[in-house]
Amino acid sequence: MEQSSAWDRAMKAFAEDKRFWSPPHFEIRRMEIAAYICPVENRRVGNPQPENVVAAFSHYLGVSGKTTTDGLLYANSRVRIGDIIDGTSFTLMVGERPPSTDERFGWWYAGVGQQLDGSADSHMSVLEVNRTFRAPTCPPGPYRFSRGNATNDCDMFHFWSLHAGGAHFLFADGSVRFLTYTGESIMPALATRAGQEVVEVQ
């Protein structure tokens, strides 16, 4: 990502204090990374309440799989290219999702997630379920790739974008494709690294 300065500052902050809410992390947490921002999204930095912390967002999350660990990016992932037996051009790695309505999910830095695992914050499955106490009025799920609304708390549990008709996804081969919501049925197959499903991506 050519962000060696941000990486070095983060490593120094964590060496000083592992608690991301402590002072060494304040300036890094609010630092905007242009590559993580969708051009049509207005929310770039938030101030979640009642915590009153300033945090810059990422509008892109890693795809953890059909479930929580059968894809590429998830907490403590060690997936290698050779592990992607479905083929890199048929395996999702990153997808779009705007920050949550309350601005607690979608930080680029120190994404705690639903249960201290980063889920729905820095990465998410394509069949994500609601496991957080912060969304008590949302159904348990699973949630699927579909249209969303920035004012709907429950839309934090699925991939979507402010673009009309679908969202952008980065595949493991480095290609970026715009997938329409009509292709929701093939998302679970695209999200796994070794499911051996046969899918066709338009």
pLDDT (tens place) for every residue of the chain, 202 residues total: 788 888 999 999 999 998 888 899 999 999 999 999 999 988 999 888 777 888 999 999 999 999 889 999 998 999 999 999 999 999 999 999 999 999 999 999 887 889 888 899 999 999 999 999 988 999 999 999 999 999 999 999 999 999 999 999 999 999 999 999 999 999 999 999 998 877 777 6
- Which H helix or E strand runs over 62? strand 60-65
> What is the per-residue pLDDT for 178?
97
> What is the per-residue pLDDT for 20?
84
Per DSSP, the three-state class of 88 is: helix
Q: Given CA atoms 125, 129, 133, 134 in this order, what sign does their dihedral have?
A: positive
Write down the pTM of the prediction.
0.91
> What is the per-residue pLDDT for 68?
84
How many Cα atoms within 13 Å fall on the side-chain side of residue 192?
15
Boundaries of every domain in the chain: 56-191
Checking DSSP bridges between strand 92-96 and strand 123-125, what pairing results, if any?
A: unpaired
Distance (Å, rounded) from C-alpha 62 to C-alpha 72? 8
User: For residues 183 and 191, is the Cβ–Cβ distance under 8 A?
Assistant: no
User: For residues 54 and 107, is the Cβ–Cβ distance under 8 A?
Assistant: no
Distance (Å, rounded) from C-alpha 63 to C-alpha 93? 5
Distance (Å, rounded) from C-alpha 153 to C-alpha 156? 6
Distance (Å, rounded) from C-alpha 145 to C-alpha 176? 17
